[in-house]
Structures are given as C-alpha cells and as structure tokens.
Amino acid sequence: MNQLEKQYDDLRYKTGCYYTNERNKQIIIFLLKKYGIKRVVVSPGATNFALVGSMQHDSFFEMYSCVDERAAAYMAIGIAEKSNEPVVLSCTGATASRNYMAALTYAYKRNVPILVITSSLSLASVGHLQAQVTDRAHSPIDMIYKSYQFDNIKDGEDEWSQTVRCNEALSTLLDVRKPVLINVCTTYSLDFSVKELPPARYIPTVSSAENRPKLPIGNICIFIGSHSKLTDLQIQAIDTFCKNHNAIVLCDHTSGYNGKYKVNMSIVLSQEKYLSKHRKVNLLIHLGEISGDYYTFLGISPKEVWRVNPDGAYVDFFRKLKNVFKMKESKFFSMYADDNINTSQTFLANCRKESEGFFNTLPEVPFSNIWIAKELSSKLPQNSQIHFGILNSLRSWDFFNLPDGVESACNVGGFGIDGCVSSLIGAALSNPDKLFFGVVGDLAFYYDSNIILNKNLPQNIRLIVVNNGRGIEFRNYCHPASRALADGADTYVAAAGHFGDQVNSAIVDLCKSANIKYYRVANKDCFLEVENDFLKNNLDSAIIIEAETTPQNENLALMIYRQFAKNFDSKILHFGVKYPFLLKLIRKIK
C-alpha cells in the first residue's frame, strides 16, 4: 500500500463503531463472509453508510474507495478478472447506480462476477419525489443476471425471505459468474453497537459429490411434490437410498412415484385430535414441484431440509432449507447411496404400521367425494390414468392409494380450477389406448364445460362431476372462509346458486350433444349401480357421472375422517385451537 492508502486503511478502524443494527445488512454481511466474498469497492454517499460503516469495522473485508461509480465498476471488473473472485460494489442512492450500467454490461458479456449492492430509502418511497430515490425495480436483461429488493425488515417473514434470497444471490453469483444486484434499503440507523454479528442461515448450493454435506443421523423422509412420472433409474436410485438409510417416501397422486418406500400418511397427518410421533424427521429431502397434499406437508415436521432439483432454485417451502443440490435426483441419491448405511428400515415399518392401522379402521362416511374415492380408488383398472380437480377432489382422493399401474395427475402447476377437464381430455387425446378417469367438482366442471362442445372428443374418458352446488372447498368446516362466514360464504366466496343450482344441471344436455353416456346419482346405492359400467375397460365409451352430494355430507365426511383418531386431551386441543400459539407450543413439547 502507498502511504495514503495506509493512512486511510488505519482510519477505517477508528470509528468506534461495530455493526449496524439494521438486520437486512447484518444478513448480507454475515453471508458474504460465509461465502468468502471479501473485496469491496465503495463509492461515497449517505444511503450506504450503514453497510459500509459495518464492513469497514470488519477486517475480513478488503475495501477500496472510488468516487466515480462508473470507474468503480470498471475497477471492480479489473479486480475480479485478476483475482478470479467475485467483487462487491456498494453505492448510495440517486443516479449513482446508473453509472455502473455500461461497466456491468461489459461484465455480463465477459462473465465477470460482480455483486452490486445499491442502497436506497424504503421501496415504498419510489415515485414520491423523494430526493435521491430512483426506481431500481428493473434492470436491462443483458446487464444484470438476477436482482433482489431487500426492504427494511419489519418481521420474521421479511427476515426469512431475505435470508433465503441473499443465499440465492450469492450462490448464483458464484455459479453463473455474471452481475447480480441487491438493492437494500436503510432507515439511516445510527446504531452501530452490535459487537457480534447475529448469524443468518447459510444455505449453500452443492453441485458435486466432493463438497457434499454429511447425511444427518436419524429418520429421513423424501417428500415429492408434483413430478413427472419417475423413470426406472430414478426409482431405483430412490429405493436404494431408502433401503440404506432408513428412509421413507411421502408423496401424493401428483408425484409420479409408486415405489417400494411410499407411505401414504395423508390421513394420519390430517388428524385434528391425534399427533403422530412419526411426523418428526431429522432430514426431509424435497423433490418435485408444487404439492396439493396439504395434510402431509403441513403435518410433517423436519429438522432440516435439503432441496434437490436440476434447476438449483432456492425453494424454501418448509422454511428449514439447509442445502440446495443443483443436480438430477438420481445423481443425488446415487451420491449418498453408500454413505452411513443403516438398513434397519424401522422408520418405514413404523409409518406403514401406523398408516395401515388407520386404513383398516376407517369409519363410514355419507355419500360424498371422500366416499366415492374410497369406493373407487382400489378398483381403477390397470393401465389407466385418473385426473383430479382442484382442490377438494385431489384432497379426498389423496387419502387413498391407487393400484399399481394406475397413473394420476392434477393441475397443481397453476393450481386453478379453470382447465381440469380440458387437461384430462388433452391427456386422453395423446393416448387413445388408455382409459382416462377424472373427478372434478361442479365449479371446475362448468368453468371448463365448453370443452364438451368440441368436435371429435376422445371416447376414452370417464368423468365424475361431484356436484354439491358450490365451491365446497370454502364451505369445508375447517376452511377459514367457512369459519368466518359460515353459510354466508355461499354468496360469493363459494359461489353457490349457479349452473342450475344443482336441480337444473345442464350436464345431461352437454353429454347428449357430445354423445357421451350420462348418469346422475344422488346416493350410494345409485352410484353402485353404475359403477361397473363406469369402470368397464373399453376405450370407445365415454361416460360422465354427475354425483349430487350436499355440503353437509361433504363436511361430515371430512370431519369424520379428520377426527376419528385421538391421542390428545380434547380439552387441551380445544384450548389450543382457541389459542393457536399455545397449541404450537404444546406440539413442540410433545
């Protein structure tokens, strides 16, 4: 260093300050250190003083000063190219960051890893003529690879989100090696009294076997959200892993897995008066995409989560994410196949026993989607496929296993009710040699009903429309809308009274025009009469059954299924439901 550099380098430690109390910056600084990113080029200003003031106290950071932001960005490129390491840029508000743009365009093209940390007043202050506040929400796509907005942290949700996103930002920077932007807000806090940096969850990306973390000891479960049908290679890799690590697979009818280690815990974990001791796992390995299996994913309690997906996205669904494996699932499981082998399979046995115990003692329920699911699920013919409407149909049928050789699907990608029947018909068109079943509610059917007007509809479809005259989801006793509005939810939230109000349903007319066989049933006996025809394995006879149920029976069926087991003092439970935070505490202790 020259004398001037030395003089200012000494001065940096003479502020009498430690770290800022602004949590969003604490998270960034903590994680920069964890990821080993130490070089920082700082341009002068007020809005970044909390970040800079904290960094300069910490000798980990090698800091440089550059007045002109354009030059600072180019200087950072020079440093990064020479050192082959990422460099941080820090600037204030106003037009400061705009001067980075030409250099960042160059860095983007040359794959130079620059982390741009711009500082700002709160995001809400944009557009209100506040001095020095510019709009940093959008950046050119050939300049910034990914950008993040870190507002001032107000609650745990903000902190969690920024922690995960900061990890994602730094991992992306190291992986893709293109400029990444974090726009972090400040309240201009003068409090620099924090001597020890509070930790932030460190969530690295793992992309090769060499730096893989150790598998935790204890119960392991693999949770598969929606997934395309797993290949033989994937199934084999999963099964070998489970065999060697006392693991189970939790999944539902959208997961594409029906292998040896599957356990259906939906009913068990749906119980409102029973807590399964198998809900706690040391490690949950998260595969696949969006899941509609609410009872399972809400009931399971992992200590830590590893996400495995070739896209490497930072998906923290369970809020316990610890590692992201950016690789194919089969590679992940093969990688760990022989680590710390434990072939006891006690976890599988115990969960199976518990689950089967429930299935063997299922109580009777009235005529409802759940009853239909129980009645039909085991009888679906081999080599067929069944589609479920969002959401009540999926939930009802997720309680039950399907026979081997029966595939299943549901529009959980967008999670809307607007195309369930069309998707079923699309699938049927793709494979005329297979029978395609479907179960949808009345709203989902009518939303999409004009699909029936199309010419040349495939004949290999068998659809059940469970018509309870409304969006029954919102009238389920446990749904917040039902709890708040009771029957009043029918007016708008559940949209009752449409489509002939059950009495004058036009499904019969639609079927007639499309030459589809139509049945209307309103009780169990009537359903059983048409069941054989519905299940008959011929590919040239489309059938639609309109099953008329009532919201009362749908509710009763669900309540019976969710409350028939008990291992909890019901008074405590009642108290806990009234004061949910206490229930949470009690469950934690248990």
Partner 1 sequence: MNKSIDILLKSLENQQIIKHIVCPSARLLLSKSEMSLPNPIDIIDERSAGYVATGLCAESEQPVVIWCADNDSYRNLTSALTEAYYRKLPILVVALSCDNVINQTMNPNDTIRYYVNNTLYNRAGTEQDIHKAIDYLFAEVKGPVYLSLGSYQEPVVQAENAVSDQIDVTAITKIIPSSACVHIGKDFVCECSHLCEVVLRNDHCTKDGNLSMLIGSSIVDRNKLHVGIFSAEELAYDLNMFGIRHVNGNIVIFSVIIDEQNPTILDVAKRFGWDCCHINITERDCVIEKLVISDKPLYIEIVL
Judged by CB under 8 A, the residue of 140, 405, 413, 416 near partner 1 is 140
Q: Report 142-171 residues binding partner 1 (CB under 8 A).
A: 142-143
Nearest alpha carbon to residue 20 among 49, 47, 42: 49
Specify the residue, 147 or 264, whose C-beta has the smaller distance to partner 1. Answer: 147
Which of these segments, 61-69, 280-288, 372-380, 510-518, binds partner 1 (CB under 8 A)? 61-69
Helix, coil or strand: residue 531: helix
Dig out the tokens for 195 from the structure. Answer: 């001597």
Give the number of C-alpha atoms closer than 13 A to the C-alpha of residue 412, restricted to the C-beta side: 25
Number of residues that bind partner 1 (CB under 8 A): 46
The verdict on 382 binding partner 1 (CB under 8 A) reads: no
Residue 502: DSSP 8-state = T
Least distance to partner 1 from the beta carbon of 286, Å? 32
CB of 129 to partner 1, least distance (A): 8
Measured from the CB atom, is 81 or 158 closer to partner 1? 81
Sheet order of strands, 220-224 included? 205-206, 321-325, 301-308, 280-287, 220-224, 247-251
> Applying CB under 8 A, which of residues 14, 16, 82, 214 lies at the interface with partner 1?
82
Distances (CA, A) of 265 to 254, 328, 550, 563: 15, 26, 27, 15
- Is residue 137 involved in binding partner 1 (CB under 8 A)? yes
Nearer to partner 1, 123 or 522 (CB): 123
Tell me the angle at which helices 329-336 and 232-245 cross, rounded to the nearest 10 degrees: 30
- Kindly tell me which residue out of 12, 33, 34, 70 binds partner 1, with binding defined by CB under 8 A: 70
CB of 91 to partner 1, least distance (A): 11
Total length of the chain: 590
Span 264-323, contacts to partner 1 by CB under 8 A: none
C-alpha closest to that of 367 among 536, 543, 521: 521
CB atoms inside a 10 Å sphere around CB 179: 30
In angstroms and rounded to an integer, the radius of gyration of the C-alpha atoms of the chain is: 29
Q: Are 92 and 66 in contact (CB under 8 A)?
A: no
Residues 12, 33, 101, 531: which binds partner 1 (CB under 8 A)?
101
Would you tell me how many other CB atoms lie within 10 Å of the CB of residue 339?
12
Residue closer to partner 1 by CB (options 21, 65) is 65
* Residues between 491 and 520 that touch partner 1 (CB under 8 A): none
Whether the Cβ atoms of residue 90 and residue 52 lie closer than 8 Å to each other? yes
Indicate whether 99 belongs to the interface with partner 1 (CB under 8 A): yes
Give the count of beta carbons closer than 10 Å to the beta carbon of residue 178: 21
Residues 2-21 that bind partner 1 (CB under 8 A): 2, 4-5, 8
Within its chain, how far is the Cα of 278 from the centroid?
22
Q: Please give the residues from 534 up to 573 whose contact with partner 1 meets the rule CB under 8 A.
A: none
Of the residues 79, 114, 230, 425, which one makes contact with partner 1 according to CB under 8 A: 79
Which listed residue (21, 44, 58, 71) binds partner 1 by CB under 8 A? Answer: 71
Which of 46, 102, 528, 585 is in the footprint of partner 1 by CB under 8 A?
102
First-residue to last-residue Cα distance in the chain:
60
Binder of partner 1 out of 37, 51, 73, 114 (CB under 8 A): 73
Supply the DSSP string of 501-530, one letter for each residue.
TTTT--HHHHHHHHT-EEEEE-SHHHHHHH
Query: Between residues 102 and 453, which has the closer beta carbon with respect to partner 1?
Result: 102
From candidates 15, 59, 95, 228, binder to partner 1 by CB under 8 A = 95
- 564 phi-psi bin (left φ>0, alpha ψ -120 to 50, beta other): alpha
Here's the x/- map for partner 1, 18-57, by CB under 8 A: it reads as -----------------------x----------------
**From 80-88, 262-270, 365-373, 561-569, span contacting partner 1 (CB under 8 A):** 80-88
Which positions from 445 through 484 interact with partner 1, judged by CB under 8 A?
A: none
Compute the distance between CA of residue 538 and CA of residue 449 in angstroms, rounded to an integer. Answer: 24
Positions of E strands within 94-173: 114-120, 146-150
Stretch that binds partner 1, among 134-142, 364-372, 384-392, 504-512 (CB under 8 A): 134-142
Is residue 184 part of the contact set for partner 1 (CB under 8 A)? no
Which residue in 296, 240, 288 sits closest to 268, CA to CA? 296
127 three-class SS = coil
Q: Could you give the CA distance from residue 492 to residue 422 in angstroms, rounded to a whole number? A: 25
When the beta carbons of 109 and 574 are compared against partner 1, the nearer one is 109
User: Contacting partner 1 (CB under 8 A), which of 32, 66, 351, 558?
Assistant: 66
Beta carbon of residue 71, minimum distance to partner 1 (angstroms, whole number): 4
Cα–Cα distance for residue pair 100/111, rounded to 1 Å: 16
Shortest approach of partner 1 to residue 52 CB, angstroms?
Answer: 16
Q: Return the number of the residue (2 or 344) whose C-beta is nearest partner 1.
A: 2
Q: Which of 81, 151, 304, 533 binds partner 1 (CB under 8 A)?
A: 81
Residue 141 sits in the site that holds partner 1 (CB under 8 A): yes
The CA–CA distances, whole Å, from 547 to 392, 442, 466, 526 equal: 14, 10, 5, 9
Give contact residues for partner 1 (rule: CB under 8 A).
Answer: 1-2, 4-5, 8, 41, 64-68, 70-83, 95, 98-99, 101-103, 105-106, 109-110, 129, 134-143
